[in-house]
Amino acid sequence: MGMASVLVAGVAVIDFVFRVDEMPRRAEKYRATDADIVGGGGAANAAVTVARLGGRAVLATRLGDDAIADMILADLGREGVDCSLARRFPGKRSSFSSVFVDRQGERQIVNYRDMGISFDADWISGLLPDRFDAALADTRWPQGGPAVLNAARARGKPAVVDAEAPIGEAMATIRAGTHIAFSRQGLRDFAGHDDMRAALGQATEATGAWVCVTDGSADVVFHAGGAFGTVPAFPVEAVDTLAAGDVWHGAFALFLAEGMGETDAIRLANAVAAIKCTRFGGRAGVPGRAEAEAFLRERSAAA
Amino acid sequence: MGMASVLVAGVAVIDFVFRVDEMPRRAEKYRATDADIVGGGGAANAAVTVARLGGRAVLATRLGDDAIADMILADLGREGVDCSLARRFPGKRSSFSSVFVDRQGERQIVNYRDMGISFDADWISGLLPDRFDAALADTRWPQGGPAVLNAARARGKPAVVDAEAPIGEAMATIRAGTHIAFSRQGLRDFAGHDDMRAALGQATEATGAWVCVTDGSADVVFHAGGAFGTVPAFPVEAVDTLAAGDVWHGAFALFLAEGMGETDAIRLANAVAAIKCTRFGGRAGVPGRAEAEAFLRERSAAA
């Protein structure tokens, strides 16, 4: 096969990141010691990861018709993400966030979303690419998630869900997945308790899907065919975990799209996310394919 | 005379304004209930005020060469501000701020400035407009302030300083003014104490200039020819005081540029600033000339 292609649906934003000596706590004026403007959003971060790892990423997302949308699209264009399904809604505003990072690396995020942008996703079906090898959806677009996942299922392709909390409005997305990768917080929100293995069992029962849970630097636990398995994470000196989950999901979806088995896909996705965490700048730290594979070889040899 | 023209030197920024139910105080994720992207910066706010009041505004300012500069210039262009002295510095970043506003109207500002942009202002002299009727400088550009104020003095025109704290690096700007309008905080910083009349006397002694102090909704106190005077502020139901001082200074400089006496200029500037404070959105609330004059007539008749 040629380059594998992943259709990703969900959120794209711009983060205005301010470095501060101390986290602002009062209604006063503060001066940032440094700042950066970086693209973010779960689906956009995953799409950038797919592109950096050598796949083709097509991003379906809802934007306003404003200067923020210009910034989002220019950045994704530079990353090689296909934005033909990134739709601008006239008169609406794109999502953006203020992110404060203090000297301890603590992070405060204030996000704005224009709730006036239609959640409808019927327009996607007429614009789907002729061919794609997997779909990936976050939990932030209740109609868009099922639209791309069902399109993947109809083609016999993996339909991956990045199941982050809050799960409430995303149940249709979760039911449409062939592979549901929960975060710890997402799984807790889904199950209503914190017993991970029991919760994974419930998730399999409710969906019939392959399910797993990622938990920061802890091992990935999956449940498939009635059995549990774990894939170890790679210990690294983490300096920035921003977007690590999104990056992991983009990598995992691409590797499934390429035909890799789930366990191998998890292992390489763990490598990609681990490398990202060793660098500042959110998704700017996502490695290329060769670097990720070299890291995996090196760590496997050491084990 | 035709349309009066004011040359303004200082800061132009973009504010990302988030409305929040409560002021964020922890390193967590918050959701804004609303947001807005508005132009700000002392000199830029003053220039917009000049243009809205029917004057010609030429803004000298230092920008980066980035998407923020695009936003700043597009917004000022829409307001009719002449940006031929707004210089973009290659490889540098424009200034921007995160502003949180809670339900009580309390405001927290985190501002970023690229300290790598040269403060040099020698380039201004070759680009000055053929004719202008006043100059206005804020305290944020130690070389740019004197450059435009001295150019005004050389033409026998009013040279107005918006003397906001910190005053420290702006002493050359303050010494170049014919009219120094302190904020309360700026005057305290200049004099080292809080006795306003004594401080105004010191300021006259140090500069030989006409001096005054604005203090939010309190009366304006001025000192000129060895005597003190006051001009009453107009009581209004204030909903947003953001940029009120900048707006006042832009109006005051324009009215002096038109040949108005200081007391009349203060009175009409008080009206402009009072109207602004009755509306949300920072400088978006600056009125046009006819509205300001009607407000002044109405309040004068009522008195």
Per residue in A132-150, pLDDT (tens digit) is 999 999 999 999 999 999 9
Output the pLDDT for position B216. 84
β A107-112/A96-101 pair status = antiparallel
Contacts of B110 in chain A (CB under 8 A): 18, 20, 24, 29-32, 98, 100
In chain A, the residue whose alpha carbon lies closest to the alpha carbon of B31 is A111
The letter for the amino acid at B16 is: F
Residue A1 confidence (pLDDT) above 70: no
Give me the mean pLDDT over the A142-168 stretch. Answer: 96
Query: Taking CB atoms and an 8 Å cutoff, what residues of chain B touch A25?
Result: 23, 25
Arithmetic mean of pLDDT, A192-210: 96
- Kindly state whether residue B27 falls inside one of the protein's structural domains: no
Q: Where are the alpha helices (DSSP H) in chain A?
A: 42-52, 67-78, 122-125, 144-154, 171-175, 184-191, 196-207, 244-257, 262-277, 289-302
Residue A27 lies in a domain: no
Residues in chain B closer than 8 A to A93 (CB atoms): 35
**pLDDT band at residue A303, thresholds of 50, 70 and 90?**
low
A228 falls within a domain: yes
C-beta atoms of A37 and B66 within 8 A: yes
Contact (CB<8Å) B110/A30: yes
Per-residue model confidence (pLDDT) at position A246 = 96
A243 contacts on B by Cβ (under 8 Å): none
What is the mean pLDDT of the segment spanning A270-284?
A: 91
Write the residue in B25, B34, B107 that is nearest to A25 by C-beta: B25
Contact state of A110 with B98 under an 8 Å Cβ cutoff: yes
How much is the ipTM here? 0.78
Distance from C-alpha of A68 to C-alpha of A65, rounded to nearest angstrom: 8
The crossing angle, in degrees rounded to 10, of helices A67-78 and B67-78 is 150
Tell me which residue range forms the domain holding B110. 5-21+33-120+130-302
* Beta carbons of B26 and A108 less than 8 Å apart: yes
What's the confidence (pLDDT) of residue B128? Answer: 92
Q: What is the pLDDT of residue B1?
A: 52
Of B16, B70, B93, the CB nearest to A96: B16
Q: Taking Cα atoms as reference points, which of A212, A143, A175, A179 lies closest to residue A6? A: A179
Q: Quick one: closest CA in A to B98, which residue?
A: A98
Task: Give domain status of residue A295, yes or no.
Answer: yes
Give A17's contacts in chain B (Cβ within 8 Å): none
CA distance linking residue B144 with residue B162, whole number of Å: 13
For residue A111, which residues of chain B lie inside 8 Å, CB to CB?
29-32
**pLDDT tens string B193-213:** 999 999 999 999 999 999 999
Q: What is the pLDDT of residues B206-247, one digit of tens each?
A: 999 999 999 988 999 999 989 999 999 999 998 888 889 999
Residue B164, min C-alpha distance to chain A (Å): 14
Confidence at A97, pLDDT banded by 50, 70, 90: very high
pLDDT of residue B241: 84
Q: Which residue of A has its CA nearest to B108?
A: A27
pLDDT for residue B25? 87
By Cβ distance, the residue of A16, A23, A28 closest to B16 is A16
Is B93 a domain residue? yes
- Record: contact B108-A26, CB cut-off 8 A: yes
Q: Taking CB atoms and an 8 Å limit, are B35 and A70 in contact across chains?
A: no
Q: Which positions in chain A touch B28 (Cβ < 8 Å)?
A: 108-109
Q: Is residue B264 part of a domain?
A: yes
Do residue A16 and residue B20 have CB atoms under 8 angstroms apart?
no
Cβ separation B30–A67 shorter than 8 A: no
CATH classification of the domain holding A153: 3.40.1190.20
C-alpha to C-alpha distance for B135 and A234, rounded to whole angstroms: 62
A28 lies in a domain?
A: no
For the stretch B56-81, pLDDT in tens is 999 999 999 999 999 999 999 999 99
Q: Cα distance from A24 to chain B (closest Cα, Å)?
A: 7
Whether residues A74 and B93 touch (CB distance < 8 A) is answered with no
Exposed (0-12), middle (13-18) or buried (19+): which is A150, by Cβ within 10 Å? middle
More confident residue, A250 or A241: A250
d(CA B135, CA A73): 40
Beta pairing partners, B9: B60, B137
Query: Which of A71, A75, A112, A113 best probes binding to B when mutated, by most B CB atoms within 10 angstroms?
Result: A112
User: Which two three-digit tokens encode residue A281?
Assistant: 């700048």
**pLDDT averaged over every residue in chain A:** 94
| Helix (H/G/I), strand (E/B), else coil: A284 | helix
Counting as low any pLDDT under 50, the low residues of chain B are none
Total structural domains in chain A? 1
- Top residue of B11, B16, B117 to mutate, by most chain A CBs within 10 Å, is B16
DSSP B233: P
Indicate yes or no: CB of B68 within 8 angstroms of CB of A107.
no
Position B303 scores a pLDDT of: 63
Residue A223 is assigned to a structural domain of this protein = yes
Minimum-distance CB partner of A110 among B30, B37, B93 = B30
Nearest beta carbon to residue B27 from set A29, A70, A106: A106
Residue type (1 letter), A167:
I
Give residue A302's pLDDT: 73
